[in-house]
Structure 1
Amino acid sequence: MGEEKKQLVCCGGRKMIQAAILGLALIVFLGNVMMWIIMPTFTYYLKWLPHILADTNSTFFDIQGPIMLNFTFPILFIAVIGCIYIHLGKGSPNVQSKCKCRKDWLRVLRKPNIIKPLGIVTWIEVLFVAMFVVLCVWYFAAYVRYQYSSITTYAATKGVQVWQAKIDRLALVVGLTGNICLTFMFYPVTRGSSILPLLGLTSEGSIKYHIWLGHSAMALFTAHGFLYIVFWALSHRLSEMLKWDPHYISNVAGEISLVLGLTMWVTAFPSTRRKMFELFYYTHYLYVAFMVFFILHTGIFYACIMLPGFYLFLIDRFLRFLQSRQNVRLISARLLPCETFELNFSKAPGLKYSPTSIMFLNVPSVSKLQWHPFTVTSNSNMEEDTMSVIIKCEGSWTKKLYDVLSAPSPVDSLQVSVEGPYGPAHTDFLRHDVVVMISGGSGITPFISIIKELIFISSSSTQNQKTPKVVLIPIFKNSSHLSILDLLLPLSSPTPTASNLDIQIEAYITRETQQATIIPEKPQPLCFKPKTSDAPISSIFGPNSSLWLAAIISASFLIYLSLVAILYQYYVYPMDHGTNKVFPYHTRALLNMLFICFGIVVSASAAFLWNKKKIAREAKQIQDIADSTKSITTLLTYAADQELESLPNQSLTGSINTHYGKRPDLKRILMEIKGSSVGVFASGPKKLRHDVAAICGSGLVNNVTFESNSFNW
């Protein structure tokens, strides 16, 4: 009891610090939003801006200084304290759940809704989308009012008619509004983000926000370019399209950026993305050139407004690059009779991850450039030395990989690189009395990791916590897919018993009316001989990765500021104020981009090299390759020789009911489940998730919290 009290006190202290960090982050963010709101008004340009420029006048940063102070620094500050927040939240998820005593008073706002074309959204998401739309509308309207207030003078200066000048200014305002969408577009795709966890989000669950913002940004940028072309045509100035002004806006750079953006936009629509994934994947790499020409178009001054999100994304992207340079140790595979296979990797014992985490895989023999996300199905508490993913053949990439593994003469080694794992900082399914998991096809994979975690908690002698009742409803096309259920129990020795877990499995086979008379093949084991250069999967910075990320963000930004200060002090300021020349805008932008990349590469590389020895020591803790292969071979052979129902005291067969030739009546099933708190998780095809969300949001089922666990590109 004394140890438990200490844990509770420690947890309470950390929670208080985390709450203070959240409060501070909220205050800083609201201040940043206020700057966005006030920026397009007369108050900002006539009152605020003169005082800001006077109070921050410096030969080191010039006008770039106050812009970074108002828009760049606040977000990077939130990112740094977010790293501290994540670090404090690490530890035993069970201790966290013990400390969790708040009532879920936001349950109503978390009810799912089906809104086309947004898909499944909660009322909270609807609220934030509405607030963002209001911000964009306000920004647009306020800037139109400001620009049109002096439209007559502007028309005379440009030598055009007033109505033509209005088109010119309208085009400008549309582009400025599009910049708001671009500003927030990179946060959802920053996989190792320290900002998303502050909102209780993960990158894989936030991809839809990136999609929404991408569509909005490109629609506005396209209108921006179209209106300018119309203005130039009406005013007989089409030659402006070929203008690259070294001291102002570069039209050519903007046009190149727009063409690149349109290329990414067209290939990102679902109809193209699903049919020609490779085309979508490769064209999306154009984002690098798109951002370079965008900054050359707007200049570094205005680009600093949208810089924070892209800056954090660049740090994350370079860290992923460093991690992916190392080939990982693939030790075994299990081939299932339903064109599904499990890959087992060696893992550093110190690497911990949450259930439903994902990992990106690259197999150069299949494709050197493509990376695909898969849910981690192993459990870091029970499987300390291994990490597993389950892959189903649903595309050309997975089919090619399956063909390599199932060839008559299979390879004895396979080169694989990984990025991740990435997942929630902690999970909260333990707060439910009943957890209902509804999956279609390969959508069962995230639920395997949850069930393994619940098995560990229920079987651990150190846990004094009640686990929820589990109702698993997998929907398969044919009975061969039932072999996936063999993977619910971890491949470890000794395996924790599942007898303490109250689990009910209702499996539905939709394309067969009765049980197959032919006994399906057992999972076939396939062992590899890893190369000596292959390393176990490990965190790039170890258990203190969040603190290292905070150090990298801070150090890289300080390096960037130092280089910018030197540039302005010794080159820009003397030229702008001592001669009739002006330091070229495009040169200034290119040097700033170079400084940003230099600061990130130097700080991240230094942190990586500092931790490299520790990572090497962790790798030595993994047993010898031959012993590892022998051990995993023994386990795989044992698993292959056993029927699921013959596993003593671990069997899940008594909990499995198989229904043939029909689909589940989800409404009836959910209405019959009783509990003060019921968590409903859905994973799999879009229609399945929408059906479950519609039932949970209809009001017919009480005390239900809906979660969608599918990763969608």
Structure 2
Amino acid sequence: MSSKGMVRAIFLVVFAVWLMIWVMLPTKLYKNTWTPNLETTLNSTYFSGQGTNLLLFSFPLMFIAAFGCAYLHFQNKSTDSSNHSKRLGLDSVTALLKRPVVVMAPLGIVSALELTFASMFVALLIWSLANYLHVSFGNLHMHKEGEKIWEAKLRSVSLRLGYIGNICWAFLFFPITRGSSVLPLIGLTSESSIKYHIWLGHLSNILFAAHTIGFIIYWAITNQMAEMVEWSKTWVSNVAGVIAIVIAMPMWVTSLPQFRRMKFELFFYTHHLYFPYIFFYVLHVGDAYFCMILPGIFLFLIDRYLRFLQSQQRTALLSARLLPCGLLELNFSKTPGHYNYPAINMLKSSYIFMISAVINLFFGPSRLYYNPTSILFVNVPRISKLQWHPFTVSSNCNMETDELSVVIKCQGSWSHKLYKELGSSLDRLQVSTEGPYGPNSSHFLRHECLVLVSGGSGITPFISIIREIIFQIQKPNFKVPRVIMICAFKNSADLAMLDLLLPISGTPQISQIQLQIEAYITREEEQPMAEAHKPLQTIWFKPSPLDSPISATLGPNNWLWLGAIISSSFLMFLLLLGIVTRYYIYPIDHNTEQIYHFSYRALWDMFLVCVCIFIVSSVVFLWYKKQNEREGNRIPNREIATPVTSPGVSPWFSGAELESLPHQCLVQATNVHFGSRPDFKKTLLDLKESDVGVLACGPRKMRHDVAKICASGLAQNLHFESISFTL
């Protein structure tokens, strides 16, 4: 077994042990045998009752997250993109597991692998609930004199439903950690796994709602409604739980698909109630249960704070392209796509310089590298200071070394306002960004043939794929897949989106790739004249001394520093928690006259988590930013005195003059069909290659139709992948 395989095996064993602990948690064996022994050994004066949960539930995943960063770093260093030239394809088992098996609302497109793990997770919840109730009903406690057995059982069921909801929370925050080191280990990104967060969120809210309603009914029939507002000093706070569920309800309702699509801004702002929700939830469950779900929250807070630090910088916006179809492309300055380590040139003259070079190599500023289909989050304070929107990165980090571009379709009020602002006479536009985030590899290059299916603005992720293929084909003996792009547009003006396949600068060799574009115009029966369409506009902006280029951030572009933050902040948390518990809480708690408040323990935990993350992340981020500035990451001076608008005629209509050879090749590779829709089934089933990758992005119905064809079993060579934030 290779060293890479051994490391992955270690991670798998640790994760399996962590899952096994969750399986054993509700059993009599754990409660009656394991718990007394573990408490005697682990619940010391330094960690009190949290010691067991910190070791069994927190440490395994924090270990995977920290050392997973080192694994990803060295994996990226050893990965050569030329390896994609080998047609490894997908083995039959992997292909079978990744094939869609369920295509329906509200689940969306679910593969066999996802269905297997979802079934196992549901089985864990059922197993846990059944064992909790079995143990509880076997030793039923009456909490009030004269209480009936069925009333006690109702209370027990309601309590255990809360326990099951806590299991959901142990997984809830991993899918939304954008700079996660856990998700790439299993081949996921935060964008592709957002549906898991949605599923877990709905399930946990159902369980917590049932937990709350059950207790309210129990208190009502036993005349104990005053319990709702009790804040116990020695046990859980009921009123904190009530506040938490009151906060959760509007978050839940506004996240429902029908509400989210109609009132997205309300959903967006309401969802930011997650911080007080977490705060009161932890006060309700206490410090011991908080340690059971700590890893997901801890890693999410690190990621969220690093994103906050990055977002405080103003990003240099160089230019914008406005298309007549209401689409726009923003071009930002970014740090050069190469390493710059001056000390390496002096290795032979001094061991000091050698050590310096090694430190720089591992911990110094990294190149800004991102793979196709990556996402950049954009904020324009002139439009909204709070709203952040994700957009597909259309540029290629290898071809466009100093620029990063995103594509935006005018579909909502925010994007329409941005389009209007760019169309006015602006010297510059203040913009902030977070990211980019995306897949850990260009896995799509392994296929013999790529079928890219898009509807409307769904073409934007495929722009980066086409540009990556244009770059890779320049390498000697590199075999890239044949590409068939199927685009469905409402109007002929939308054909201008195809112009974005070509970068704003340079002479891409698009003629060298096997590209076939089938464009369908669904709402027009014939081709209009060129005069009926507005020209494409390119707007250049003045540079500002306050702006800085997009640079590599801690995470996907520097895993070692992220690993250092995770490990250092967690160890600092354990150290400070031990000191506070031993020298402050322990003397009070063991005083015969008083006991330390139950909720104050949870407050200490949350406070120390936040302090440790704040200190470590701030120090590393500021040092890293200083190193980037020292490397000379400045905005290229284009010497443009005033904003420039460059009109251009789109080459897609009769009478239009083709601007360049790349445009000619692009038009020649395109077949435009008016008044018809694509026949996905015929196109896909006619493909003869043994390994065909089918990527779909666009309206849900279109993605589901393509997924059903790939899942039908009529063709074994189709491997489907959906690119979307929604189900």
Q: Which TM class, normalised by the smaller chain length? A: over 0.9
1:334-373 mapped onto 2 (5 Å cutoff): 334-349=321-336, 350-373=367-390
Q: What is the aligned partner in structure 2 of residue 20 from structure 1?
A: 6
Q: Which residue does the alignment assign to 2:57?
A: 71
Matched residues in 1 for 2:621 and 2:174: separation? 23
**Contact 1:507–1:656 (Cα < 8 Å) also in 2:** yes
Deviations 1:471-517 (Å, cap 9, x if unpaired)? Answer: 00111001101111111012223x23112100000000000001012
State the secondary structure of the residue aligned to 1:652.
Answer: helix
CA deviation string 1:149-206 (max 9, x = no partner) = 111xx11666522111111111000110011111111111000010111111100111
Residue 347 of structure 2 corresponds to none
Alpha-carbon contact 1:645-1:652 (below 8 Å) kept: no
What residue identity is the alignment partner of 1:562?
A: L
CA contact (8 A) 1:84 1:550 kept: yes
Cα separation, partners in 2 of 1:156 and 1:289, compared to 1, 3 Å: closer
Please give the alpha-carbon distance, in whole angstroms, between the structure 2 residues aligned to 1:273 and 1:353: 30
**Does the alignment pair 1:482 with 2:495?**
yes
Of 573, 579, 592, the match for 1:560: 573
C-alpha displacement at 1:103, in angstroms? 4.5
Q: Is the 8 A contact 2:565 2:616 kept in 1?
A: yes
The answer for the alignment partner of 1:53 in structure 2 is 39
The answer (yes or no) to whether the contact 1:249–1:298 under 8 Å persists in 2 is yes
Aligned length: 689
Match of 1:444 among 459, 473, 490: 459
Q: Which residue number corresponds to residue 585 of structure 1?
A: 598
C-alpha separation in 2, matches of 1:573 and 1:96: 58
Q: Is the 1:182–1:217 Cα contact (8 Å) retained in structure 2? A: yes
CA distance 1:307–1:692, change in 2 (3 Å)? same
Cα distance in 2 between the residues matched to 1:537 and 1:27: 38
> How many angstroms apart in 1 are the aligned matches of 2:22 and 2:226?
34
Residue aligning to 2:684: 670
In structure 2, the residue corresponding to 1:578 is in which secondary structure?
Answer: coil
Larger CA deviation: 471-480 vs 693-702: 693-702
Mean Cα displacement is larger for which, 426-435 or 647-656? 647-656
Partner secondary structure for residue 499 of structure 1? helix
C-alpha spacing 1:641/1:413, structure 2 compared with 1 (3 Å): farther
Structure 1 SS opposite 2:713: coil
- Cα deviation for residue 316 of structure 1 reads 0.3
SS of the aligned residue for 1:367 comes to coil
Structure-2 separation of matches of 1:225 and 1:526: 56
Distance 1:165 1:290, change over 3 A: same
Whether 1:605 and 2:594 are equivalent positions in the alignment is no
Output the CA distance in 2 between the equivalents of 1:288 and 1:296: 13
CA distance, structure 2, for counterparts of residue 403 and residue 159 of structure 1: 71
1:435 and 1:679 in contact (8 A); partners too: yes
Match of 1:143 in 2: 132
In 1, are the aligned partners of 2:88 and 2:446 still within 8 Å (CA)? no
Q: Distance in 2 between matches of 1:639 and 1:344?
A: 20
Question: 1:400 Cα shift?
Answer: 1.1
CA change 1:690–1:89 in 2 (3 A) is same
Q: Which residue of the partner structure matches residue 121 of structure 1?
A: 110
Instruction: Report the TM-score when normalising by structure 1.
Output: 0.93
Cα distance in 2 between the residues matched to 1:103 and 1:526 = 44
Distance 1:572 1:532, change over 3 A: same
Does structure 2 conserve the Cα–Cα contact (< 8 Å) formed by 1:337 and 1:523? yes
Q: CA deviation at 1:621?
A: 4.7
Question: CA 1:54/1:95 → structure 2, altered by over 3 Å: closer, same or farther?
Answer: farther
Identity %: 48
Q: What is the TM-score when the length of structure 2 is the normalising length? A: 0.92
Which stretch of structure 1 is more off in the superposition, 433-442 or 649-658?
A: 649-658
Q: 2:720 corresponds to which letter in structure 1?
A: F
Letter in 1 for 2:397: S
CA contact under 8 A between 2:89 and 2:691: conserved in structure 1?
A: no
Aligned mates of 2:557, 2:376 — CA distance in 1: 19
Give the letter aligned to residue 697 of structure 2.
Answer: S
Aligned-residue offset at 1:649: 5.4
In the other structure, the counterpart of 1:86 is 72
Secondary structure in structure 1 of the residue aligned to 2:97: coil
What SS class does the counterpart of residue 639 from structure 2 fall into? Answer: helix
Provide the C-alpha distance between the structure 1 equivalents of 2:615 and 2:145, rounded to a whole number of angstroms. Answer: 46
5+ unaligned residues in a row in structure 1: which ranges? 1-14
Deviation at 1:325, TM superposition (A): 0.3
Distance 1:644 1:228 in 2: 73
Matched, 1:206 2:193: yes
CA deviations 1:286-332 (Å, max 9, x no partner) are 00000000010010111110111011000000000000000100011
Contact 2:549/2:633 (8 A) holds in 1: no
Structure 2 alignment gaps of length 5 or more? 337-366
Q: Secondary structure in 2 aligned to 1:28?
A: helix
* CA deviation string 1:32-81 (max 9, x = no partner): 11110111111001111111112224211112111100000101111112
- The alpha-carbon distance between structure 1 residues 641 and 479, as it changes in their structure 2 partners (threshold 3 A), is closer
Distance 1:659 1:156 in 2: 73
SS at the partner of 2:558? helix
Structure 1 vs Structure 2 CA RMSD: 2.0
Partner of 1:548: 561
- More displaced stretch, 501-510 vs 649-658: 649-658
Q: Aligned residue for 2:519? A: 507
One-letter amino acid of the counterpart of residue 508, structure 2: P
Task: Tell me which residue corresponds to 1:4.
Answer: none
Q: 1:110 aligns with which of 82, 98, 101?
A: 98
257-266 or 111-120, larger mean C-alpha shift: 111-120
Worse overlay, 498-507 or 570-579: 570-579
Correspondence list, 1:164-313, <5 A: 164-313=151-300
C-alpha deviation, 1:699, in angstroms:
1.2
Alignment counterpart, residue 698 of structure 2, candidates 684, 688, 709? 684
Q: Could you list the per-position Cα deviations for residues 194-239 of structure 1 after superposition, in whole angstroms to 9, with x for gaps in the alignment? A: 0111111100111111100000000000000000000001111011
Give the Cα–Cα distance (whole angstroms) in 2 for the partners of residues 317 and 466 of structure 1. 40
Query: Bigger shift: 644-653 or 589-598?
Result: 644-653
Which residue matches 1:163?
150
Distance, in Å, in 2 between the alignment partners of 1:365 and 1:158 is 64
Contact 2:548 2:635 in 1 (8 A): no
Provide the C-alpha distance between the structure 2 equivalents of 1:532 and 1:116, rounded to a whole number of angstroms.
Answer: 50
Q: Which residue of 2 aligns with 1:12?
A: none
Which whole-Å deviations, capped at 9, do the CAs of 1:223-260 have from their partners, x for residues lacking one?
00000000001111011011000210100000000011
> Is the CA contact (8 Å cut-off) linking 1:351 and 1:543 kept in structure 2?
no
Pick which of 683-692 and 512-521 moved more: 512-521
1:491 partner SS = coil
- In the TM superposition, 1:307-706 aligns within 5 A as 307-349=294-336, 350-407=367-424, 410-458=425-473, 460=474, 462-493=475-506, 495-519=507-531, 520-541=533-554, 545-624=558-637, 626=639, 645-648=658-661, 651-706=665-720
Note closer, same or farther for the CA distance 1:214–1:544 as it changes in structure 2 (3 Å cut): closer
Over residues 581-612 of structure 1, what are the superposed CA-to-partner deviations in whole Å (9 max), with x where a residue is unaligned? 21111111111111000000001011011112
SS at match of 2:98: coil
Q: What's the CA shift for 1:622?
A: 3.8
Shift of 1:619: 5.0
Mean CA deviation greater in 168-177 or 510-519: 510-519
Q: Report the AA paired with residue 585 of structure 1.
A: F
Name the aligned partner's letter for residue 84 of structure 1. Answer: A
- C-alpha separation in 1, matches of 2:76 and 2:508: 24
